[in-house]
Structure 1
Amino acid sequence: MIKFFRKIRQRLVTENKFSKYLIYAIGEIILVVIGILIALQINNRNLNKSNLKESKEFVVRLKAEVKSNIGFVKEEIEKKESQRRSSLAILKMIGEDITKLSSKTLDSLIIITMANGNVEFKNGTLNEGLNTGKVALIKSDSLKTRLYGLPSLVEEVRSGEKYMNEDLNEYFYPFIYEHISFRQMDFEHTAHGELIGPSKFSSHNNLNVLNILKFESLIDNIFYNSNVQIDNYQRLKNELENLYELIEEYE
């Protein structure tokens, strides 16, 4: 085909038909441009199909990830609510006659209040979408906006977890180690209790901790922080549930 057009050009030049050669040259340029445009259109169509396929596959994986995270957050909310209830129960025990209280009950409540909080959260698919531009391929503006905003909300939740865990590790644990017999707690509450036996400090009574002001303040702080974290987790759960609904609508 290229040889054919070259021969035509050569014949027009040798015959000194410059005007016809010019018209022919312009026509040839137009044909080349049209060919390029058609090729670009085909390429764009193929690219759009590829992007659409990638976008659909990404959204399917993202939906599964969001669903898992909703479950993880619900589990952590339940743990924090248990921690809040336990700390509140301890606060209500303070000021009571310790001879009428159960040390075993207090031990159980303390074990629950000691729990650190770290919600399991999968974000591999979301990070992939943000880093590779797959989120940008999504046609729904409302869905994209929520996806772009999710990492900052997760970071807020992580900051709250970090603050509460540091508070437990730096203040509550050292106090408990000093004033509570862990051996006695393990003896009464763990599967290996019979193996280790009861505490040898028979005169020590874990209930005495209820008469210490610092213990009351520490428990009150746990109660307060638990409430804050529950609110944070609820916000995250609501956001994930809204996100899940948007993904379902988008599909």
Structure 2
Amino acid sequence: MKVLVPVKRVVDSNVRIRVRADGSGVELTNVKMAMNPFDEVAVEEALRMKEAGKVSEIVIVSIGPAAATDTIRTGLAMGADRGILIKTDQNVEPLAVAKLLQKVIDEEKPQLVLMGKQAIDDDYNQTGQMLAALTSLPQGTFASKIELNGDSVDVAREIDGGIQTVQLKLPAIVTVDLHLNEPRYASLPNIMKAKKKPLDEKTPEAYGVDISPRVKILKTSEPAARTAGIKVANAAELVAKLKEAGVI
């Protein structure tokens, strides 16, 4: 069984985000970048499936600049087999990403696509659903548990108020949540081995996909700073303040 895992290069989750002075977006100059945390979870899950003998090959695919090669190499160092970089310096919106991934699926014919439910930079949470629509494949979203069973996969989905388990016939697309697993760290020997693993480089034009933006970001701004709290003398004053605020 072949598993395809799309990954995205984003600002490291431990970095404090700074908005550009002109409000045109987030400052990326000299900022540490890393693999999207949700995608790391997807890579880890694919690796566990391979270690269990249920998966034979794991392919990592990323869409982005030349520097996204490092993100793919991270997945290869974790244990994936090969990578594909669709190289572009443009910002690629979810629909264009889904169309490119559709082309990759047509080419690679994976039995399972594992991907993060969203990226931490834009929080769209759209690509997996769009990809399922374009490919007409069954989808399981917000997965907190995944079990392969022959020609199907059981997906436990986190929903409001509980867990919903669905069974999808393979091939299928599953978007994962952070609660699914704890990603491993790549060892130094595996990091060195990853440099020799195959990594193909392609372009959106080679797939015949138009990645022209359809959405214009008008302004990016930081959230308002929290105001200082106040102390109340007694319970009666607390109740009065809550009433003033419309809480009760």
Q: Which has the higher helix share?
A: 1
Higher radius of gyration, 1 or 2: 1
TM over 0.5: no
- Tell me which of the two structures has the higher relative contact order, counting C-alpha pairs closer than 8 angstroms and 6 or more residues apart: 1
Please state which structure has a larger fraction of its residues in strand.
Answer: 2
TM-score band, normalised by the shorter chain? under 0.3
